[in-house]
Each structure stands twice: as C-alpha cells, then as structure tokens.
Structure 1
C-alpha cells in the first residue's frame, strides 16, 4: 500500500477528469501521468489536498501534520515556496488558486497574506464568520413598509 502507482493514485482521487479539474489542466496531461508518473510539484499539491488517496489514514494524517509543521503562517513568500518545493510565483499561484499577478505582487521577504486560500493551505480552518454590519439607526426596527396610492 505504500508504493502506489500513479494510476492507482489518480483512480483514488476520482479519475483522470477529476484530477485534471483539481489541477486546472487538460485531461490528456493527466492521462500521460499514468505512464510517466505524477510530476513532483503536482504530487505534493495533491498529497496536501487529499492525503487519504496516498496511503493509510494514519500515514496520511502524519503527512499532513508534518507539512503543517513545516509551513508557518508567519513565513515569507520565499520561505513558503521553498517549503512546498515550488520554483516560481506562477507555481505558488497555481497551488493557491490565485492570479499570478496577485502572488507576484507580494514581496518575497514579506509575510504571506492571510487570504482564505493561504490559510487553508496552512491548515488554519477555524476562520471566523464576517461580522454583520452594525446598524446605527435606533429606529431601524420600528420602520415598516409604507403603502402609497
């Protein structure tokens, strides 16, 4: 169970079309991976996203815990790319599902912004709901509909 083939992993992830949708590429590219193997950066991305498809649940949880320990929300963009094994802003943008221009706009040495995609990748799922807008009008609950002729 430890040495799964690329085909077995792709099947566990839902098949060629589903993996292509997840990676935002065309299905023929994923079909090619069945014979050539899944590229390392894509494999790491898929492993973070769906650890259950790569082995037993215990091993998968250990991998997620280990990855989350490596990735800290206070790290710089350069450190995040290095930890994930990504070579460019384009790769990081693809993993985060953000436009390349947005990721390129972040300074390499600044902290990674706390966007929902970044926080999900970092394993912070306890996001708070946005607060409801405060109504400063004291008569807001007493105003009713007005019928006009």
Structure 2
C-alpha cells in the first residue's frame, strides 16, 4: 500500500477542520501539522479511527492493534497502550457512548463487548439461533379429516 504524506492523510480524513473536530483542537494546530507532521500520539489515535486514510487495510490494522493489546488488559492499561488520554477518546475509538466506557472499572479487565473484541482482533460471541415462538411447533402435524 502507498505511504501517504501527513498532508494527504489530513485530506483523506476530511480536511483540516474535520481533523481538528475529531481531535478536539483548533484548526490552526492541524494546519501546522501539514508542514511539521502529525504528532505521534495524535497519529496513532487517528490511525485507530481510520486506518484506510493511512493506506492500511483494516485487517492489517487489527493485527497491529492485536499485537499491542491483551484481552486481559485493564481499561487504564488499554488507554495507555493506545496513547489515549481519556475515556472519551477510548469511547470514540470503540464507537461506544462515553458514559458506558466511563462506567468500566479502571483496573478490571475490559468487558467483552463486540467493539472491544473487534479492536482486540478476537472473534465475537456467536449468537444463539432464534428459537421458535411456539415450543410445540415441531410436534404439530396436519390432521386429515374424513
């Protein structure tokens, strides 16, 4: 895959204003990145959100993240490993409400919600097959009347 410049990455992410909104900073800061480069922590955050903008296939990104993240990792350790500073940033990466992520205990293992499992690169839980609404449905047979 191609190795885009920082300016191309910003354009692929929607431009200066959109990147500033995502990172919760002012647009002039992002504009400066076009010449000085995207700071490493911001780059990692943006790459987690949109690996395609960096010329990385989502499968490759998931493998790279999986190598960094352990499924028994605490929320605090997960944030630190991914270079995220708050629950709000982690929630954004996972696509979950901030309140849900904030409710997770800091030192317990992260919950096995589908978004976390996808981030960790593990397969999600399989859904149980739908049960028929009538438990006797398979025992009912047609009756021929004379």
The bucket for the TM-score relative to the shorter chain is 0.5 to 0.7
Q: Which moved more, 1:65-74 or 1:77-86?
A: 65-74
Offset of 1:65 from its aligned partner? 3.0
Match of 2:111 among 110, 113, 134: 113
Alignment pair present for 1:123 and 2:121: yes
1:89/1:48 Cα in 2 relative to 1: closer, same or farther (>3 Å)?
closer
Aligned-residue Cα RMSD (Å) equals 3.9
Q: Which moved more, 1:109-118 or 1:127-136?
A: 127-136
Q: Which moved more, 1:111-120 or 1:84-93?
A: 84-93
Q: How many pairs align?
A: 136
Match of 2:67 among 52, 66, 69: 69
1:32/1:106 Cα in 2 relative to 1: closer, same or farther (>3 Å)?
same
The question of whether the paired residues in 1 share the 8 Å contact of 2:62 and 2:120 is answered with no
- Consecutive unaligned residues in structure 1, runs of 5 or more: 145-149
TM-score normalised by the chain length of structure 1: 0.64
Alignment pair present for 1:43 and 2:43: yes
The question of whether the paired residues in 1 share the 8 Å contact of 2:45 and 2:83 is answered with no
Hey, what's the Cα distance between the residues in 2 that align with 1:82 and 1:31? 27
Hey, what's the Cα distance between the residues in 1 that align with 2:40 and 2:128? 37
Alignment pair present for 1:9 and 2:6: no
SS in 2 for 1:73: coil
1:8/1:68 Cα in 2 relative to 1: closer, same or farther (>3 Å)?
same
- Consecutive unaligned residues in structure 2, runs of 5 or more: none
Q: After superposition, what is the alpha-carbon deviation per residue over 1:74-125, rounded to whole angstroms, capped at 9, x for unaligned?
A: 1111110111011222221222122222112111111100111111111224
Match of 1:98 among 96, 111, 120: 96
